[in-house]
Amino acid sequence: MLLSTALAALTLSTLSEARPRHSSRQANNTTNTSSSTSLQFLGINESGPEFGETSLPGTYNTDYTWLNLSTIDTFVAQGFNTFRINTLMERMVSTKDMTSALDVAYMGNLTRDVEYITSLGAYAMIVPHNYGRFYSSIITDSSAFSTFWTNVAKVYANNSKVIFDTNNEYHDMSCKLVAELNQAAIDGIRSAGAVSQYITVEGNAYSGAWTWTTQADAVDDLTNAETMGNLTDPSDKIIYEMHQYLDSDGSGTSETCVSSTIGSKRLVAATEWLRANSKVGMIGEFAGAVNNICEEAIADMLNYIAANSDVWNGALWWGAGPWWGDYMFSVEPADGVAFTTYVPMLAGYA
């Protein structure tokens, strides 16, 4: 999610922005729903370590925070098995050089949370919530990016329950560059000896499922569908991670979902691309507000994912975390605004 004005209703002195601005181009899709089945990866986005992105590296418990691990127990008891931990590259390293040594304190806290999650038998997904940027500049040095990922992956090389997500929501950059950075991350991770873990790759245009095949970049006039299909992994464990919100512009900033069937409609084109290219995908971010239309739309989306489990293997709700307060999508146990509505619904797909 793009850190933006959606947190204006929250306490800005405590929280940083954490919201997406996805493209407004919508595919003309059809509905395909079915009864629910279990998803391989059913989970939650955990926020806090990526907050305070305008204060770098920032101060722990002032600009950013870490997970409340007791809430992980609550989710695992409901059948959730995947937790996407949103971090920042600038805090993961010790200097303003992304190839520098890892920051001991920040990485220590990350490792504590990762090890707690995986000790429960669940997956811990590590994602730099950086949008393809480092200190606000588009990452163009694929070699440095590969080195960054080698350094991170070495820490978790022996933990097969870790998932590496190359970067959150690349946007407004060359699709060719995005593919190059994803490949560099894959190569860096595998060179670290981390060969058993899944790697999720994300596309340009905020990795939106509904625009995966249609939205061309302003640099090369290419889409994710045209540039992301040739990624290679010697471990053959790539998952194509896409995000999808259900409001009119797909940004996830409105409580209004377009229709009760918009969830499935916005996944059809991406589903066809995954199947035609023998790929597997995951919805790494999705959410809806607590109202009848959104609840129907979320159920519709989950049913569609389950019905197309040959190409979709998971879905991760946005979001949870100790600093969300009264944020409309929060499922932070047990008083998150959406907790009582959506956690039981999602648990039906465990």
Tens digits of per-residue pLDDT, 160-179? 999 999 999 999 999 999 99
285 belongs to the catalytic site: yes
Preceding omega of 193 cis (within 30 degrees of 0): no
332 belongs to the catalytic site: no
Identify the CATH number of the domain in which residue 9 sits.
3.20.20.80
Q: What gap in Å lies between CA 110 and CA 84, rounded to an integer?
A: 12
Mean pLDDT by 10 residues, the chain (350 residues): 49 37 32 61 99 97 98 98 99 99 99 99 99 99 99 99 99 98 99 99 98 97 99 99 98 97 98 99 99 98 98 98 98 97 98
Give the pLDDT score at 32. 35
As for how many domains the chain has, the answer is 1
User: In this structure, is the dihedral angle defined by the CA atoms of residues 60, 200, 223 and 297, taken in order, positive or negative?
Assistant: negative
Q: What is the pLDDT of residues 285-308, one digit of tens each?
A: 999 999 999 999 999 999 999 999
Give the pLDDT score at 3. 57
Strand partners for 83 = 44, 124
Q: What gap in Å lies between CA 254 and CA 206, rounded to an integer?
A: 17
Catalytic hit among 17, 285, 295, 332? 285
Give the pLDDT score at 37. 82
Residue numbers of the domain that contains 308:
5-347
pTM for this one? Answer: 0.92
Instruction: Enter the tokens of residue 147.
Output: 């080195």
Q: What gap in Å lies between CA 93 and CA 78, rounded to an integer?
A: 35
CA distance readout (Å), 311 to 136, 162, 169: 34, 21, 21
Tell which residue, 336, 343, 290, has the closest CA to residue 68. Answer: 336
CA distance readout (Å), 60 to 152, 184, 210, 286: 20, 30, 36, 28
Strand partners for 317 = 44, 286
Catalytic hit among 169, 202, 241, 295? 169
Q: What phi-psi label fits residue 43: left (phi over 0), alpha (psi between -120 and 50 degrees) or beta?
A: beta
